[in-house]
Structure 1
Amino acid sequence: MDRTVIVAGGMGLATARIMGRDHHVVLTDVREDPLASAVADLESSGIRARYVVADITDRGSVDALFATSAASAPVRAVVHAAGVSPQMGSAEKIIKINAVGTINITEASLAAAGEGFALVNVASIAGHMLPSVMVPRRTYRLATRDVEEFTRKMIANASRGPARVHPGSAYSLSKNFIIRHSADRAGAFGARGARILSVSPGSFDTEMGRLEEKSGSARLLEFAALKRFGLPGRDRGTAGLLRRRQTGLSHRHRHPVRRRHQGRTGHQRHAGNDSRRLNPDLHPRVAHLPTS
């Protein structure tokens, strides 16, 4: 095996099992005990794995994660499934982990990206349910210009109205950002022959998913293809997106890539390939994973 996959967050463990067939696996989280247990589990199945403790809200920590992960073999894929839900913290904590963490992972991935590289950012069906009028597009554009100001404005946007709704607002806002940011960075990844994708699961039968059940996460099942909580061990969609055509149960559609092309804006063109048609294997996609 001459390639490495980084998997961030507990929900990515099922993906790590599949990607571990032909990748070195590096698991990462801010907590060490769950990582050690997960690595032992993978190794018992014959998968070569290790863990690196990292704080995704800190760019220096993320850069160190990528450098350490590449020591054995080049990083060729990243599954960013780390995040927190409304019951797990304040609006500020949710924005910093879900949104700023995604910026840090995405930019570090871009720096490591080459031909065939893929990044999957895990969003949520909740991100698609945010009313258009509430999407702060100008604030989103700060993500690659001024992360500190982006963070301040995102927290301010999530902190409108009664305090009890702030965490929920921050969650929906942060997940909507992940979807849009993944699309916005598609051109930069495409120029390197790489892919960036977002997946939007419904409610999954995980510790975090069940924690949110009392706050109404079960209502999201009404919008899912299958009307029940998803089972992480049976979800092969994320790994499938990384393995190109093996997309499992996922539904996907393509984002147009808007870019400057000879003085005008081009649509559905793969950045860095002015003279050829769209390569579907490299074009960005957003996948909506049904609960399965």
Structure 2
Amino acid sequence: MTSKYTNRYIGRFAPSPTGPLHFGSLVCALGSYLDAVSHGGHWLVRMEDLDPPREEPGAAGRILQSLEAHGLHWHGPLEWQSRRHGLYDRILDELAERGLLYPCQCSRAQIRKQGGHANDSCRHTPREELQADLPSALRLHCAGGEETFDDIWQGHQQQQVLEDTILKRRDGLFAYQLAVVVDDIDQGVTHVVRGADLLETTGAQQRLFRLLGAEPPMFGHLPLVMGPAGQKLSKQNHAAAIDDQCPAENLCAALGFLGFHVPPELGGESPAAILHWAASRWQRRQVDRRNRQLQ
């Protein structure tokens, strides 16, 4: 699989429409935007709307509205994963033809009881022994060995790939691990700047990049904004939506979290002026890598 774009710096922000943009996701969007723009690159937005049961009605529109209100304008066509099913099916067909996929009927309860997916026993189950009335996931033959990479902020990483990755779920939905890699290849993404909660998924994703004949992008995992109880600020934890009526205040707070010393007068500027100021001063080494609460 090859990219249809050039090899210049291309970054992206890929939110899931499970709720409106909150402060933690604004920090992630801003960090990925500034890293792309400061390196003369393009910044794309892709809506990861692959899981309808978890999506909140109207959330996608609210996320895009918030990005626009904060001056975070993307530099290419907006992509929707829900409109890319044909591409995912084609990639699954190619992997199946290479003998890299197998059906798995293991339930989450079984996997929890085993302490993880039992790759060997599941891999070797003859198809005729699969229960006809039980849906199957599709797993990728990829477990074993180690993936290494140098993360922009988290440093050198060594990750064991212990489990065969699910690429299509038992409920028939395409898995995040398939779609995110296929989309990054297709869009020519060269740098993935995202939250540190996704650091542990990177090794398995790198493995899939290479199986699809693509060089993995450079990864940078930004620190997480933590809530008052020490949990990650997230939609699942009912993080408050950012107020689109206060974009300058929000941007300045996010810049402070990312390590900028923000002059008070910047809060009176437009979002475009604030972003221009920040992009001209962006330095990766200034980012505090610790997950922490907003001060």
Shorter chain as denominator, the TM-score bin is 0.3 to 0.5
| Greater C-alpha radius of gyration | 2
More helix by share: 1
TM-score normalised by L of structure 1: 0.35
Higher relative contact order (CA 8 A, sep 6+): 2
TM-score, normalised by the number of residues in structure 2: 0.35
